[in-house]
Amino acid sequence: MSLTRILRLGLWFFDEPNHSTQRVGWRSIVTVVKPTHQSAKVKKARIKKLLIANRGEIACRVMRTARRLDIHSVAVYSDADKRAMHVNMADSAYNIGPPPSRESYLCADKILAVAHDSGADAIHPGYGFLSENAEFAEQCQKEGVIFIGPPASAIRDMGIKSTSKAIMSAAGVPVIEGYHGDEQSETRLAEEADKIGFPIMIKAVRGGGGKGMRIAMTREEFLFALGSARREALKAFGDDAVLLERYVRSPRHVEVQVFGDQYGDCVYLFERDCSVQRRHQKVIEEAPAPGVSPELRRQLGVAAVRAAQAVGYVGAGTVEFILDPHDLSFHFMEMNTRLQVEHPVTEMITGTDLVEWQIKVASGERLPVRQEQLSPQGHSFEARVYAESPDANFMPGAGPLLHLSPPTTEPSVRIETGVQQGDEVSVHYDPMIAKLVVWGSDRQAALDKLRTKLAEYQVVGLDTNLEFLRRLTLEPEFIEGRVHTGFIEEHTETLLGERPVPQSAVVQAVLGIVLHDKAQALAQAAESKDPFNPFNTLTGFRVNGQLTRQIRLLHRQQEYEVQVVYEADSYTVTVKGVGTVQVSGQLDSSGYLTTQQDRQGRSRCKIVMQDAYTLHVFTLEGAYKFVLPQYDGSGAREGGVSDSLVASPMPGVIDKVVVCPGDKVKAGDPLVVVIAMKMEHVIKSPKDGIIERILYQAGESVSKNVPLIQWQE
């Protein structure tokens, strides 16, 4: 007589500021699973203590599920992360060395030593670092520690892209044309590139996250792009081998979430569209993919399961495909043998906790559902909030989070982060601040919610991509779901072009300054010996006449000249060349400004004074940074180029100096290679000239806008 068991799968979300969890009752799925006989080869083991071999938001994400399952969490951290959120959140934490990843998070021996010292039963690698390191997975098995991931053989087969292509081809999964051979000489690779034809994609065979990836548009660009890809791959993955692929113009990047257990069962949890990318890294992901029919969804899923079963896959994995937007044909690109950054959108549309599945499958349990019991519900978006400068080719940044106010959460909104106000985004690691994840009953509802929550996000202290993300959600073709991997480049003008600042934002900024100064004057007067003197207590008080004040503001390259006339209970604000308004307002202690303008009604915004000269205005229509022009830093503009100097456009570490004193260079020639946030950035010459001095050498750390090279006069 057969038995049945009921498994209710619910989503759990994390309230980041309070480090608390809550059960979501808005959606769940109920499945009936008939148990089958357990394989004799599978050993069940209860995981009581879990080491998370990672940092940041993914470490916090795993810990939330571990806490809900009553599993003790163990954190590891570098010297740079000793005060990090994931360290404070863990039940116990261990230092594993200096900030560079190769001396800490990539040191398998150190992490296994912590596993033994702490008594951890299992290690969850997160993503990045050691998550796709077959040798580490093998070492865990040898030392009796459960590795929460696929078998080492699957990591090896799929982690080496050349091997995975051959396996997929043999398994009947469509594969794109390219060179995946072991011969790695420059001569052979150049010959193969000529055979395939340009433009061509160069990829690190052990790559991921856009690292070790370059596009060579012509034969002349190939060798430099090859060298750059190899250097970056060696630093990120310890292997500089590459493969070559025909570069498909304007494809869609569609990936399928698969999950296998130790009994040979495997399911797909539908597809995600990750086409919107910059520097080959994803910016916004969504599930399900727009415009994918139920039949195409099934074909993608079946191909992904076939790919997973071809290597005996266990656990969470993602099979990535290139999808032709015209004929909807698809080709295997690669398989990520780990949890993906964008896994929350899959959780949102399936009502699952994939980390819980990972832990239970690694413990020897069966998959909780069968394929026929799964169906996508609603729509979900994930937007990655980065410390970067979209206007400067998405240059990554680092620095303090002086003010950090994420949007309010609710059951259909998740904020996944590993930082909080007062923390610093480190030059040593990925510059992602958070992931904003939303769910809606359909794509339009989810997109509206994403746009609203992006407008609520406030960050001060470093540049972010928040305004860029908001513009993306307003782009008509994105709204219609017509996306591809070249979408950002195709829409650069509308996504990154200069936009005029509305008069209301200028007025709010000026009123914020006036009311801030008034509050300071009142506070100083209260502490003075003569607190009732009206000249001390009331900013703008005059016996005869009205105070008129001139304020100049700079927003990017646009300067605004503003005149403010102090009235009895309001202000007359004139923006030169724009117009005059009568406005009153109140600035509360938390920085929220409520204004009443003639003809425009009441509005509310957040005012943040970064320092005495820099003001941020956060509105639902956008965020604006104003600078009082009498203080414009050192005078150096971002990008760091002057007549006599070339400066670093970002904080980082000098990896390579390409030129020497006395060299003649032309505009566009590479000068210096800087490593920042695990990515290689080539600083090129802005003009023709002769090098006089090299101010920094390989291995030295540099700050943003620090001069690196001096020209001859």
Helical pair 108-118 and 134-142, crossing angle rounded to 10 deg: 30
Rounded distance between C-alpha atoms, residue 700 and residue 709, angstroms: 14
CB 411 within 8 A of CB 397: no
Strand partners, 5: 33
How many residues are there in the chain? 713
64: phi > 0 → left, psi -120 to 50 → alpha, else beta; which? Answer: alpha
Among residues 472, 517, 490, the alpha carbon closest in space to that of 628 is found at: 517
Per the CB < 8 A criterion, the answer to whether 132 and 155 are in contact is yes
**Cα gap 271→287, rounded to integer Å:** 6
Q: How far is CA 651 from CA 89, 391, 704, in A?
A: 28, 17, 5
Q: How many CA atoms lie within 13 A of 634 on its CB side?
A: 11
Taking the mean position of all CA atoms in its chain, how far away is CA 270? 22
Q: Cis bond leading into 199, ω under 30°?
A: yes
Burial 253-281 (b: 16+ CB within 10 A, else e): bbbbbbbbbbbebbbbbbbbbbbbbbbbb
What are the phi and psi torsion angles at 227 (to 5°)?
Answer: -60, -40
Distance in angstroms (rounded) separating the CA atoms of residues 236 and 680:
10
Supply 513's token pair: 């300054």
Nearest 5°: phi and psi at 655? -95, -40
Joined together, the tokens standing for residue 573 give 């604000």
**CA dist., res. 616 & res. 423, Å (int):** 19
Asked, as a colleague might, if the bond just before 288 is cis with ω within 30 of 0, I would say yes
Query: 689 pairs with which residues across the strands?
Result: 665
Q: Do 194 and 220 form a contact (C-beta atoms < 8 A)?
A: no
Q: Which residue has the tokens 């990090």?
A: 84
Q: Please state, in angstroms and rounded to a whole number, the distance separating the CA atoms of residues 610 and 604.
A: 19
- Which long-range contacts (C-beta less than 8 Å, at least 24 apart) are formed by 419-425? 419/56, 419/84, 419/85, 420/16, 420/17, 420/85, 423/83, 423/84, 423/85, 424/398, 424/399, 424/400, 425/387, 425/397, 425/398, 425/399, 425/400, 425/401, 425/462
Active site residue: 64, 297, 338, 443, which one?
Answer: 338
| 499 is an active site residue | no
> Residue 192 carries which DSSP code?
H
- Active-site residues: which are they? 338
